[in-house]
Amino acid sequence: MNGILSTRFLELVRSRRSIRRFLPKPVEREKILTCLEAARLAPSAENVQPWRFVVIDEPDLKKRLADKIFSGIYFPSKFAAQAPVLILVLARLDFLANRLGRQIQKVPFYLIDIGIAGEHLVLQAEELGLGTCWIGWFNHRQARKVLGIPRKYKTVCLIALGYYERKPEKSRPRQNLEQIAWFNQIKE
């Protein structure tokens, strides 16, 4: 597929990497709020906006949380503990659109919605010179316990946020556009 335009947005997307080494430099509150605002503006099924974000940037609480959620079989995600900010992403599931999507369409729309909001957040962070890493492998039960998360919320993921020590130069290989997108028919 020739004819791809070069845009600032595509350059931003191309430059974003998952960061696993962070500097111990605190992230300015304005930058965190700007990232959250980008997430807030994301579209969602029936505009239910099921996302909720718990920002953990207080060092003692972050350490206590990290010790609990990255222990045992969750140890591979321990690198995220060095990030100055952890953002726990929650879903509020008591919306009709969420229930109908699961029951009728067999699609958990809240996960799509949260994926869009999370991507808005990480791309905004990239534009601000911050690194991020999505993390799904952590002890969700311990996160609920340490932070006192009410049952009406489902823990979905964490986003580690901070200034990166160094940014990986290369991205991981991607399939060619011709392998994943077709016009008017499926080509395999």
**Whose structure tokens read 């940037």?**
57
Task: Assess whether pLDDT exceeds 80 at residue 46.
Answer: yes
Q: In this predicted model, what pLDDT tens digit does every residue of 89-106 receive, in sequence order?
A: 999 986 666 666 667 777
Span 102-132, pLDDT tens digits: 677 777 888 999 999 999 999 999 999 999 9
Question: Which of the four CATH numbers 3.30.300.280, 3.40.109.10, 3.30.720.120, 3.40.50.10860 does domain 21-165 have?
Answer: 3.40.109.10
Tell me the C-alpha distance between 131 and 123, whole Å. Answer: 9
CB contact at 8 A, 65 and 147 = yes
- Torsion sign (Cα): 165, 124, 34, 61: negative
Q: Strands 85-92 and 153-162: what pairing? A: antiparallel
Retrieve residue 83's tokens: 């990030």
